[in-house]
Every structure is written in C-alpha cells, then in structure tokens.
Structure 1
Amino acid sequence: MRAVQYRRIGAAPEVVEVERPTPGPGQVLLEVTAAGICHSDDFVMGLPEEEYTYGLPLTLGHEGAGRVVELGPGAEGVEVGTNVIVYGPWGCGTCHQCAQGKENYCPRAAELGIAPPGLGAPGALAEYMVVDSPRHLVPIGDLDPVATVPLTDAGLTPYHAIKRSLPKLRAGSTAVVIGTGGLGHVAIQLLRALSPARVVALDVSEDKLDFATSVGAHDVVLSDEHAAENVRSLLGGRGAQLVLDFVGAQPTIDTAMAVADVESDVTIVGISSQPAAAQVGFFRQAYEASVSVPYWGSRGELIELVELAHRGVLDVHTETFSLAEAPTAYERLHAGTLTGRAVVVPSR
C-alpha cells in the first residue's frame, strides 16, 4: 500500500510503498477515507536530530477517518463496514485519567511506549491504518469523512480549550482568537455556537481576516506590533475574558497576555518552531489572569463534536489532496498558503 512517511531528519516527507498492516489482538484495521494535515506535523519534522523522538520511518497523520475492514482477535464494540474517525491521543485505558475518557492526559503512556498515530505510531496518511483499540473509534454515520476528519484535532483541541472557559463567556464578554487557520477558524465557529461572546479574530493578512469574518468573527484586527493596543481600543480600553493563541510564537503570546482582562483565561494552543513563553508575575499580566497549555481533548468531547457536526453547527473549510500530493500540501502548510485544513483522500 502507499503511505506518506517522514524518513530522514530534515528531509521532506515521501510517498512510499509499504506492507499493508494486519490487526493484532484487540486491534482494528481501517481503510483510510480521509487524513488531515496539521502544523504539529511541520513542528515534528522541523526538530533537530537530538530532539526528535518519534522514530523513523514515521507514517504521518494524526487526524484519521476510515471504514472498518477487519477486526483483530478479541476486538469488540465496532462492526466491519462502520464509518469512523480516530481519537488520536491514545492512553493506557485503565488509569484515573483514562477512566474519565481523558486519555490525552494519561500519565503512563510514555512509560508504556504508547504513542498517537502519526506521532510515534503509524498514522493515517496511508491507504490502511491499524487502530490499537475500538474505544479509539467514534462512528460518524453519514457525515462526510473529508469534512469530519479535522474534528479529531482541529476541532477537538479548540473545543476542549473553549469548553473549560465557557463560564467566563457571559453576555458582554469578549473572546480573542489569534490565528484563523485550521484550528482558529473552527474556534470562531464554536465560540459563536456555544457562547454569547463577541469574537475578535487576529491574523497577518487581509485575506485571512476576510476568511475569519466569513466564518463568524464579529471584528478582525491585523496581527502586528500594534495588535494589542488596537484590540483594547476596539474594546473601549478593556481586555478579553478568553484569549486563544493558535500560533504560539513569542509575538502572539505577548499579544495574548496584553489583551487579557482581569480574571481572564489565556490559552496557548499553537506550537512555534522557536522557543516561546508567557511572562507571568506581578505587574506582568492582568490580575488573576490564568494561563494554560492544553493538549488535544477527551474522547467524550470528540463524541460531543460529532453530535454538533450532525446538527450542522460546523463548516470546516478544507482543501483536498491525493496521497501523491501530500508533500505539496506540507509545503503549502509550511508557507502558510492553505485556507482552513488540508485533507488527504487516499482514494483520489
């Protein structure tokens, strides 16, 4: 079968022929119908050799959708022919966090050698993939896999980040979204669907700001050295109750901290290739402004997102590519010329 692999440190990913996998005990084999491409992949492939820990060759793709085609011995809870998406942050399944569906925060995954697909385990950028357990599959029914596969990360991560801050998003509140790409444009839609907050979007070009407006942002501001003062001017001198940074670079983190109001939440979601950190302490940010760095979301939250998708709440913008075109998609991701989420369709 064909797969997209990262094979050499610092090299571009390649489309290669590999052996079709066979599901082992308790595992499930999917025929991949769609696989999302993410900035996290670009971050991983940009790591120097001394910091790279994901193994080579690595079949990429931590956003996966597929059709169940084979069950390994003892695998139960899903039927052959079911259309599913894959919950990516696999855990041990038995610890306190996993028992709550929060496998994204499993404390034992690393010591047990458990890695997410595409981030250690073979991922979804292939014609077939093995999923380690039926519990990591969420049926999607008649939903389009291309439009739905980004929910596994580009939807789940912002949903988790927003959900924890919903009590602060009351009438008259403001949420600032920095970066309106794959995750950010979904966050704007989720904020509009789940809260009465005024949504202010920041990005680096007018076309990206126009895109943010088209998916529901009330106001847009150019993300530059004047962004913080322009946001506060827009808000009459006040700050925002929630700031979501989907870039994670030092300038955007600085902007996020500067526009956060008293008792606000600042959530840094994006990962920059350069070291970046929020400055926290007396006189460095608004009083009682909390800063968090979430990782993905829970299995239950992914199920909730699928329910929202069935209700037509979300319109995830995608550009589709074949497996052969996947390296080009990564080039465009790195260059910042994608609109929404890049999705690879192996059958193309």
Structure 2
Amino acid sequence: MRAARLFEYHKPLRIVDADYPKIKRPDHVIVRIRGAGVCHTDLHVVEGVWRVSLPLTLGHENTGVVEEVGEGVEGFKRNDPVVVHPVMTCGVCRACRAGEDMYCENLEFVGMGRDGGFAEFMLTSVRSLIRADGLDLVEVAPLADAGLTAIRAVKKAAPGLYPGSFTAVIGVGGLGHIAIQLLKQMTTTNIIAVDIVESKLRLAEQLGSEYVVNARDDPVKEVMAITGGRGVNVALDFVGTQTTHETCLRILRKGGKFIVVGYGGVINLRSADMIANELTIEGSLVGNYIELQDLVELTRLGKLKVITNRYGLDQVNEVLDKLKTGELIGRAVLTP
C-alpha cells in the first residue's frame, strides 16, 4: 500500500510502498483511510521535537471505512464509516475506567508511537472508532484531533464563563476556528479572536466572534480596551509561541485562566503575581472518546463545520510547508 513515511528528521516525507497492516489482537481493526488531517504536531515530529522511532507513517487525524475486524470486534463491520480517535487504549487501567483516555497507562498514539493514517490503510482498535454515518469523511477528519483538542480546551474554559464574560481565542487556524464555534454552542461568553492574518479574522467574524484583534498591532492594548481595562476571563492559546504566551498572561483579569494548547514557548510568571491575581494556568491535550462522539453529533446536527482543504497524498510535503508558513485557512486533509 502507498504511505507517506518519515525516514529522517528535518527531511521530507517519502511516498513508499509499505506493508499492509496485520490484525494481531481480537480488538484490532484495519481502516481504509478516506481522510487524514495534517497537524502542527506532524511538523513537530518531522522537526524532531517528538523523538519517535523511525521510519514512521505520520497522521493521527483520521477517518475511513472499516476494512477488516479482529475476531473479538462487535458493533462494527466492513465498510462502516468511522472517525478514528488517535489513541489506542487498554480500557482496564484506572485512567481508562475513569474515562480519561489520554491518561491510559498503556496508550499507543497513531502517527507518533505507531504507524498512522498518511496511508491507504491503518491499524487501530475498536475502542477508538466513532461511527460517522452520513457524514463527509474528508470534511470531518480534523475532528479526530483539531476538534478534540478544541472541545477539551473549551470544556476547561466553560465553568468560568458567564453572560458578559470575555474569552480570547489566540490563533484562528485549524483549532481556533473550531473553538470559536464550540464557544458559541457551549457558553454565553464574548469572544475576542486574535490573529495576524486579516482573512482569518474575517472568518472569525463569520463564525460569531464578537471582536477581532490583529496581533500585528498592539493586542494587549486592544484587548484591554475591549474589556474596559479588566482583561479576559479566559485566554485560549492555540498558537504556542513565546509571544502568544506572554500576551495571554498580560490580558488576564484577576481570577483569570490561561489554557495552553499550542506549544513551543516558555511560560514565565512570578509566583507572587500568580498568587496576588489568583491566576490559573492549565494545559490541554487532545480529548477523550466521549468528546469525539460529541463533536461528531454536533457536526451531524449542523452546529459545527470544519473548514477543510483537500490534497492528495503526493502533496503531503507541500501541505507541511503551507502549514509551517501559516498559509492555510482551516485544516488540510490528505485523501490517500
């Protein structure tokens, strides 16, 4: 089968003829990939930020149809359309029993720890499958990571939001544009979208953001003016640079929460300032199976739409370059 694999860090992926996956456990499932989203994490893998074992087929944001099932699989059969959660979990450790799938003690992450979906076929487990009947499998592929990450971050933000509150969404990219829609569905907060690209700010307005701020100007000054000098209740950083981290800390009001999703910077905050202002800093990583099911249902109800750009598998390196330079609006999806 054709697959886009990474053989060396800092080198382009190579399209090769890879081995067809094999079912080795009763709960294993082989999925014929229909859509594979391209994520900044894929860039970080190429750059060696995540030191994975090479060679590796990337791609952790996948949809497709069931091709084969292990002898213990029930509820799914050949040709069933599915969204594939990026982690394979054991289901029996304490974290799994608590529904915290990302904390599984025996977690396997496709596209990072094992071969992912930049290929014609991919191996996963039945626990990772969410039915996607009637949905465009290319359009919903980003739900498996971008959507998951956004909904988990928004759920962390929601308890501190109320009518008249303010939430800053830093970065209106693949995750940010989904987060804006989820904030509109799940909260009554006023949204301030912050980005350096005018077309992305226009998209934020179309999706319901009450305010937009171009970060090329003075985002701290503008956000403070919008909030009457008080600052935001929650800052969601989907970019993760030193600059965006610092911006988030400077725009928080007393008792505010900084939710860190994008990574790449270092958070510098004096403990005295954190205590005096009762600030909360919280990381957010992907999401669990139930959150993915919620995303699929919101999409089915027409309450959520992912902006997608479709590319062939042969264009994977072109897409990674576009992602690196910030050219993409929404999410890129490969169609192996």
Q: Establish whether TM, by shorter chain, passes 0.5.
A: yes
Q: 1:72 aligns with which of 46, 70, 73?
A: 70
What is the one-letter code of the residue matched to 2:335?
V
Identical columns (%): 36
State the alpha-carbon separation in 2 of the partners of residues 318 and 279 from structure 1.
37
**Matched ranges for 1:1-348 at <5 A:** 1-25=1-25, 26-47=27-48, 52-106=50-104, 108-109=105-106, 114-131=107-124, 133-224=125-216, 226-272=218-264, 275-283=265-273, 287-346=277-336
State the alpha-carbon separation in 2 of the partners of residues 52 and 103 from structure 1.
20
State the alpha-carbon separation in 2 of the partners of residues 310 and 209 from structure 1.
26
Q: CA deviation at 1:205?
A: 2.2
- Check 1:298–1:136 CA distance in 2 against 1; reply closer, same or farther (3 A cut): same
CA displacement, residues 95-142 of structure 1 (integer Å, 9 cap, x when unaligned): 121113211122x23xxxx431101111011000111x2011000111
Maintained 8 Å contact 2:237/2:245: yes
State the alpha-carbon separation in 2 of the partners of residues 92 and 75 from structure 1.
14
- Check 1:90–1:260 CA distance in 2 against 1; reply closer, same or farther (3 A cut): farther
- Check 1:137–1:332 CA distance in 2 against 1; reply closer, same or farther (3 A cut): same
- Secondary structure at the residue paired with 1:243? strand
Maintained 8 Å contact 1:89/1:296: no
Q: CA deviation at 1:286?
A: 6.5
- Alignment: residue pair count: 335
Q: CA deviation at 1:285?
A: 7.7
Maintained 8 Å contact 2:66/2:78: yes
CA displacement, residues 139-191 of structure 1 (integer Å, 9 cap, x when unaligned): 01111111111111111111011112212111001110000100001001111
- Secondary structure at the residue paired with 2:271? coil
Q: CA deviation at 1:278?
A: 4.1
User: Structure 1: where are the runs of 5+ without partners?
Assistant: none
- Check 1:313–1:65 CA distance in 2 against 1; reply closer, same or farther (3 A cut): same
What is the one-letter code of the residue matched to 2:243?
P
What is the one-letter code of the residue matched to 1:130?
L
User: Structure 2: where are the runs of 5+ without partners?
Assistant: none
State the alpha-carbon separation in 1 of the partners of residues 297 and 8 from structure 2.
40
State the alpha-carbon separation in 2 of the partners of residues 59 and 281 from structure 1.
42
Q: CA deviation at 1:211?
A: 2.1
What is the one-letter code of the residue matched to 1:16?
V
- Secondary structure at the residue paired with 1:42? helix
- Check 1:4–1:280 CA distance in 2 against 1; reply closer, same or farther (3 A cut): farther
State the alpha-carbon separation in 2 of the partners of residues 325 and 148 from structure 1.
20
- Secondary structure at the residue paired with 2:256? strand
State the alpha-carbon separation in 2 of the partners of residues 117 and 249 from structure 1.
26
State the alpha-carbon separation in 1 of the partners of residues 158 and 95 from structure 2.
22
State the alpha-carbon separation in 2 of the partners of residues 79 and 55 from structure 1.
32
- Secondary structure at the residue paired with 2:209? coil
State the alpha-carbon separation in 1 of the partners of residues 138 and 275 from structure 2.
41
- Secondary structure at the residue paired with 1:162? helix
State the alpha-carbon separation in 2 of the partners of residues 280 and 24 from structure 1.
51
Question: Normalising by structure 2, what TM-score?
Answer: 0.96
CA displacement, residues 299-326 of structure 1 (integer Å, 9 cap, x when unaligned): 1111111111111011110100001111
State the alpha-carbon separation in 1 of the partners of residues 246 and 139 from structure 2.
33
Q: Please report the RMSD computed on the Cα atoms of aligned residues, expressed in angstroms.
A: 1.5
Q: CA deviation at 1:6?
A: 1.0
